[in-house]
Amino acid sequence: MQRFKAVLVERGADKKQSVSVVDLDESQLMEGDVTVRVTHTTVNYKDGLAITGKLPVVRRWPMVPGIDFAGEVVSSSDPVFKPGDRVVLNGWGVGEVHYGAYAGLARVKGDWLIHAPDGLTPAETMAIGTAGYTAMLCLLALEAHGVTPAAGPAIVTGASGGVGSVAVSLLSGQGWQVTAVTGRAEEAEYLKSLGAAEVLDRAELSGAPKLLGSERWAAGIDSVGGTTLANVLSMTMAEGAVAACGNAGGMDLPTSVAPFILRGVSLLGINSVTVPRERRVEAWTRLARDLDRSKLNAMTTTIGFDDLIPTAQAIVEGKVRGRVVAEIG
């Protein structure tokens, strides 16, 4: 049996959570019809929550965290995949209820995988990761709704984080004038280098929301939720739309029906966990085609396996900018 290192999150009888690096072998992997050698993964905000226990992301104990990976198929009983295939996984409860990416091997259901997109290296797919993939799902939702750059500017909240950084780059690349919202003034030049036309202090969106504010943007991608999202909605132009994909600022939404019934604003919910394969392939194909590689490189930091735990802790503390690639293989 091949042995490999893994990050393991455990919980004692007192329900206190602990995290450590352990050695596992293939017999300890969970059920699945495809075994993958993990070469690269990333650190998403959800991974930080899983490792720190700040929110109850992990729902099975013990758990190997890591919600996405790139790797190479070792063995497969799924006819779609064969040994040697390069694959990518996002979501499906991996790292939450099914052993995840922070390990040398992962065994998963073939339905959860797609073949790696042409034109992206394994490191680039994880530089994008679930955060960037989610940003693309948001863009696809806005496009499907029919909102275009001709209608007005777009706003991106949590802009210096993973979802936000990719969203700024994608939107600007599609011709949008982008307002990037961040609580870190020192990141203004970084955000402008990704394509932001304006950088807004998040404090401007932290006050009690009005029923309706001045119309400022036609579209938005929000990874924060809470009061920030409520303020964004109140200032969205008539017939505009906001794609919501995160809750870094809280689960509550202190808004009213006013933006929806008086301006026809649409709130588009984005689920990145259980997405049909056809839409996953569409999103990754668009990312391979549309995302500026130079901007992707500018927002990416590379770490090793031993840096996973401290980086996961740092992302929850708001100390991580852009994207992180972890080399596992």
Return the CATH number at 153: 3.40.50.720
Does a structural domain hold residue 287? no
321 Cβ partners below 8 Å, 6+ apart?
160, 161, 165, 184, 187, 190, 299, 301
Q: What's the pTM value of the predicted model, to 2 decimals?
A: 0.95
Percent of the chain with pLDDT over 70: 100
Does a structural domain hold residue 200? yes
Which is nearest to 212 in space by CA: 249, 180, 256, 254? 256
42 and 167 fall within a common domain: no
Percent of the chain with pLDDT over 90: 96
Give DSSP secondary structure letters for 224-291. Answer: --HHHHHHHHHTEEEEEEEEE---TT-S-----SHHHHHS--EEEE---SS--HHHHHHHHHHHHHHS
84 and 144 fall within a common domain: no
235 and 312 fall within a common domain: no
pLDDT averaged over every residue in the chain: 97
162 and 66 fall within a common domain: no
35 and 112 fall within a common domain: yes
pLDDT tens-digit readout, 219-266:
999 999 999 999 999 999 999 999 999 998 989 999 999 999 999 999
263 and 307 fall within a common domain: no
pLDDT tens-digit readout, 165-196:
999 999 999 999 999 999 999 999 999 999 99
Residue after which a domain boundary falls, among 226, 247, 269: 269
Number of domain units in the chain: 2
The Cα–Cα gap between 244 and 82 comes to 36
Residue 57's pLDDT is what? 93
Terminus-to-terminus CA distance in the chain, angstroms?
Answer: 17
Asked if 247 and 121 touch (Cβ cutoff 8 Å), the reply is: no
171 and 252 fall within a common domain: yes
For the cut 90, the answer to whether the pLDDT of residue 316 exceeds it is yes
Residue after which a domain boundary falls, among 230, 248, 269: 269
For the cut 80, the answer to whether the pLDDT of residue 79 exceeds it is yes
Does a structural domain hold residue 278? no
Does a structural domain hold residue 125? no
Residue 117's pLDDT is what? 96
9 and 88 fall within a common domain: yes
Residue after which a domain boundary falls, among 227, 248, 269: 269
State the CATH number of the domain containing residue 35: 3.90.180.10
Instruction: Name the band, by pLDDT with cuts 50, 70 and 90, for residue 114.
Output: very high
pLDDT tens-digit readout, 188-208:
999 999 999 999 999 999 999
Residue 329's pLDDT is what? 74
For residue 191, CA distances in Å to 194, 299, 304 come to 5, 9, 26
Averaged pLDDT, 90-108: 98
Does a structural domain hold residue 291? no
Does a structural domain hold residue 95? yes
Domain span at 239 = 131-269
Does a structural domain hold residue 282? no
Averaged pLDDT, 41-66: 95
Locus of tokens 């799924």? 78
26 and 88 fall within a common domain: yes
Q: In a 10 Å sphere around its CB, with 0-12 CB exposed, 13-18 middle and 19+ buried, how is residue 276 labelled?
A: exposed
Residue 2's pLDDT is what? 87
For residue 20, CA distances in Å to 7, 51, 56, 60, 93 come to 6, 10, 18, 16, 21
166 and 234 fall within a common domain: yes
Does a structural domain hold residue 177? yes
206 and 93 fall within a common domain: no
28 Cβ partners below 8 Å, 6+ apart?
none
105 and 143 fall within a common domain: no
Beta strands 236-244; 217-222: pairing state: parallel
